[in-house]
Amino acid sequence: SPNTQYWVEKRAQHVRGGFPAFPVAVESAKGHIITDVDGKDYIDFISQFAVMNFGYSHPNITKAAVDQIYKMPLSGTAHISPLYAQFAERITKKFGFDSIVTMLSGSEAVESAVKIARKWAYTKKNIPENEAWILTTDQCYHGLTLATMPLATVVAKNFGQHVPKVGPFTPTGDKLIQYGDIDILAETFKQDGHRIAAFLVEAVQGWAGLVYGGVDSFYPSTRFPPKGYLKAVQDLCKEHNILLIFDEVQAGYGRTGKDLSYQHAEGVQPDMVTLGKAVTGDRERADLEPGFYPMSVVMGKSHVMDVVQKSEILSTFGACPVACAVALAALDVLEEEKISERTHRLGLLLEKTLKELNPPHVIELRGGGLFYSLVIDESTAGVTARRAAALTTLRGVLVGCGFNRLRFSPPLTITEEDLVKAIRVISQALRDIEY
C-alpha cells in the first residue's frame, strides 16, 4: 500500500494553502498516539494545534458521536435541536454568560463576534456603519478569513491590500497595541475610544510570533499576560464603553490549566468569548486537518448578544446534533476528569523535567499548563528549531515548530510516562543536532 512518501508527494501536487505540517501521513490515532501509514507510532505533542485536548477517540466522546449519527445527524438549522438548547444552557451557565451563537470554525466564531460587536456599536454607541473599529494586539492570531485576517499583524506584512481594513493598527496614528502594555491601550482609548467597538484579545496568546513573518522579529510564542493586565483592560473597556472579547479558540478548554485561560486573572468577565477547536475536539481518525464535527461558539452577555436577529448568524452545518452530542460529552470529560487541574499538574512536571534535562541551545521556556514554547538559539551551526523538530519526528515525537521555536501542546490526557519520554526525546534531539 502507498507509503508516507507517496502521500507527501500527492498532497504537494494537488493541495494549496494549509500549514506546512511535517511529512507524516496519518493512518489512525488513539489517545495521545498517532500511527502513520507505515505503521510507525508517534507521541503527539501538537494535538492538531490544541484541538485534541481530550485525546483521539476518547471512548465517551466517540460513543456520543456515533450514537447520534444513527439517531439524527443534522438538525441544527431547520428544526430545533434539543441537544443544541441543552449545550447552550450548559455552557452559558458554566461560564456565567447568557446566550451563544455557533458556527463551525474558530475564524467564523471570531467573525461572528466582530459582526455582533459592530452591530452593537452602531445601535448602542452610534458609531456609523462600517466605521466601528475592532482593536487587537500585536502578535495576535484570530483566523484567516476575510474579516479575521486583517485583525492580525501578518496582514500588514503580507496580505494587506486584499482584505478590508479593521485592524490591527489604531484607527488614527497607525500604532500597534502591544500585548500586555496597558498604557498604550489607555492612550488609544482616550483618543479613539468613540470609534472603537471592541477590544479583542487572546487572554493567553497561542500563535504569538508565528504569524509575524520572519526570523528577524523575535517573539516567543505562547505568551501569558503580565499580572493585572486583563483586569486593567476590563476596567478601561468599561470606562470607555468598549466591548471586551476574549478569543479562547486555542487557549480554552483546559489547555493552560484553567477551563478558560482568562480565569487565571481574578475578577475578569468579558462581554463575549470565542471558542472553537477543543469544543468538539475528538475524532476517530486524524489526518492533520482539525475538525470532524466542528463547532465554534461565541458566548456572551445579553446586552450584546441580543442585537443578533434571526438569520443573521448561522451555517447550514452549524449546531449539528452530532457536534452538540460531542460538545456535551467533551464538557463531561473536562469536568469529570478534572482536566484543567490535571493539566496544571502535568505542566509543572513538563517544566521540571525540561529544567532537569537542561537541553542546550534553549533561550527560554514560555507558557503554562500544557501550552509551552521552547525558544531556540539558532546561532550554532546546524542548530535550528526546524531541524530539532525533524529529528524528534524521526524519533517518534511530533512537536510544533515555527521560526526559532518548538511548540508543545499535547493532548491533556497524555500519561505522565509519555510526557516525560517525549521531553527526553526532545532534549536529546537538541543535543544531537549540532553539525
- Nearest residue to ligand PMP by CB is 106
Q: Choose the stretch contacting ligand PMP; rule: CB under 6 A; options: 25-33, 75-83, 138-146, 217-225.
A: 138-146
Question: Least distance in Å: CB of 255 to ligand PMP?
Answer: 10
Q: DSSP 3-state assignment of 200?
A: strand
Q: Choose the stretch contacting ligand PMP; rule: CB under 6 A; options: 80-88, 201-209, 326-334, 403-411.
A: 201-209
Please pick, from the candidates 34, 83, 110, 211, the single residue that binds ligand PMP as defined by CB under 6 A: 110
Please pick, from the candidates 45, 49, 253, 262, the single residue that binds ligand PMP as defined by CB under 6 A: 49
Of 277, 268, 324, 334, which Cα lies nearest the Cα of 100? 324
Q: Choose the stretch contacting ligand PMP; rule: CB under 6 A; options: 16-24, 126-134, 199-207, 314-322.
A: 199-207
Q: 308-323 in b/e burial notation, b at 16+ Cβ within 10 A?
A: beeeebebebbbbbbb
Q: Choose the stretch contacting ligand PMP; rule: CB under 6 A; options: 26-34, 244-252, 257-265, 333-341.
A: 244-252
Binding flag, residue 142, ligand PMP (CB under 6 A): yes
Say if residues 427 and 359 touch (Cβ distance below 8 Å): yes
Say if residues 296 and 278 touch (Cβ distance below 8 Å): no
CB of 83 or CB of 201, closer to ligand PMP: 201
Peptide bond into 168 cis (omega under 30): yes
Strand partners, 246: 201, 273
Binding flag, residue 107, ligand PMP (CB under 6 A): yes
The alpha-helical segments, DSSP class H, found in 162-276 are 182-192, 229-239
Say if residues 201 and 136 touch (Cβ distance below 8 Å): yes
Binding flag, residue 143, ligand PMP (CB under 6 A): yes
CB of 131 or CB of 289, closer to ligand PMP: 289
Binding flag, residue 106, ligand PMP (CB under 6 A): yes
CB of 46 or CB of 385, closer to ligand PMP: 46
Size of the site for ligand PMP (CB under 6 A): 15
Binding flag, residue 141, ligand PMP (CB under 6 A): yes
Binding flag, residue 276, ligand PMP (CB under 6 A): yes
Measured between alpha carbons, how far is residue 433 from residues 89, 360, 376, 395 in Å?
52, 10, 12, 13
Say if residues 17 and 41 touch (Cβ distance below 8 Å): no
Question: Least distance in Å: CB of 9 to ligand PMP?
Answer: 26
CB of 222 or CB of 427, closer to ligand PMP: 222
- In one-letter notation, the amino acid at residue 90 is R
Please pick, from the candidates 250, 261, 280, 427, the single residue that binds ligand PMP as defined by CB under 6 A: 250
Q: DSSP 3-state assignment of 96?
A: coil
Q: Choose the stretch contacting ligand PMP; rule: CB under 6 A; options: 126-134, 140-148, 222-230, 416-424.
A: 140-148
CB neighbours of residue 375 within 10 Å: 22
Q: 67-104 in b/e burial notation, b at 16+ Cβ within 10 A?
A: ebeeeeebbbeeeebebbeebbeebbeebebebbbbbb
Q: Choose the stretch contacting ligand PMP; rule: CB under 6 A; options: 55-63, 102-110, 221-229, 281-289.
A: 102-110
Rounded to the nearest angstrom, the gap between the alpha carbon of residue 50 and the centroid of all alpha carbons in its chain is: 6
CB of 9 or CB of 289, closer to ligand PMP: 289
Which residues form the interface with ligand PMP (CB under 6 A)? 49, 105-107, 110, 141-143, 202, 206-207, 247, 249-250, 276
